[in-house]
Amino acid sequence: MSDHDAGPGNLPPGQIESEDFPRFGLGKFAFRFPEDPANVEISVRGDVGTPVTIRGEALASLPRHDQVSDFHCVTTWTKRSLHWSGFRFRDFYEMLAEPRAHPDADASLVVLRAQDGYDQSLPLGDLLAPEVLLADRLDGRPLPIAHGAPLRLVAPAHYGYKNLKHLCGVELWRDDRAYRFAGPGFMDHPRARVELEERGKGVPAWILRRVYPALVPPVRWLFRVALERRQTRP
Ligand SMILES: Nc1nc2c(c(=O)[nH]1)N[C@H]1C(S)=C(S)[C@@H](COP(=O)(O)O)O[C@H]1N2
Ligand SMILES: [Mo]
């Protein structure tokens, strides 16, 4: 038995296994979609010497990495054993972003931007972990729009809300500007580590654990209806 066959006892604190992997998120993003889901392009900006845009061809020069990992939404559902394929964020950063954009030496906060207007931040150190990917494939197929085409962040040690879909921008910020970024949700935790149950800020995790599950059915429904509407548009 591999680690990934582990039973429910091995789920992180407060999580429940989900049979399926729904399109999900913060309600206001349900009806927003990437403008150009085929265009793989990441702009690197912020406190850098030279702002640059890194295109799909450059990404394709990085070593491809396949990985099986669990996905943990803060509302308590977990989808186990997803097969992702893509590039390590660390390789993207060290082999492309750093040498081309020359970030300031003390730029340690990364603000991530998505094509649908969603954004999030994580410490650079968290993103350099080996299991953090820029994924363009899921379960052996090109990443679908529902799960973040053309490219999404996969950070399995962090709650789903840090796993940006439709990623298009990476900004390096110096520490002294970090406090200015909150994220799309007013309760977003700056790190949101699953094992430490950093579900949010301001409200204790044990309360969020009980309140959030009520949101799951309506949010699943909203995101499914929005996707169906997009797919059937003339
Ligand atoms: N661009 C973008 N990324 C996003 C979101 C979003 O609304 N837009 N929602 C986040 C949340 S809260 C979750 S749980 C996951 C859901 O990913 P999925 O739709 O692939 O299940 O995406 C995260 N990344
Ligand atoms: Mo989420």
Count structural domains, the chain. Answer: 1
Ligand closest to Cα of 151 equals 1
Longest dimension (CA), the chain: 49
Ion ligand 2: residue ranges with CB closer than 5 A: 73-74, 160-161
Supply the DSSP string of 205-223, one letter for each residue: HHHHHHHGGGGHHHHHHHH
The atom number, within ligand 1, closest to the CA of 79 reads 21
Regarding the beta carbon of 163 and ligand 1, being less than 6 Å apart is answered yes
Q: What is the pTM of this model?
A: 0.94
| Strands 167-174 and 41-46, bridge-based pairing | parallel
Query: Residue 38 belongs to what domain range?
Result: 2-232
pLDDT by 10s per residue, the chain, length 234: 334 444 445 899 999 999 999 999 999 999 999 988 999 999 999 999 999 999 999 999 999 999 999 999 999 999 999 999 999 999 999 999 999 999 999 999 999 999 999 999 999 999 999 999 999 999 999 999 999 999 999 999 999 999 999 999 999 999 777 767 777 887 899 999 999 999 999 899 999 999 999 999 999 999 999 999 998 876
Q: Is 64 left (phi over 0), alpha (psi -120 to 50) or beta?
A: beta
Give the CATH number, domain containing residue 194.
Answer: 3.90.420.10
Regarding the beta carbon of 161 and ligand 1, being less than 6 Å apart is answered yes
User: Coil, strand or helix: which one is 182?
Assistant: coil
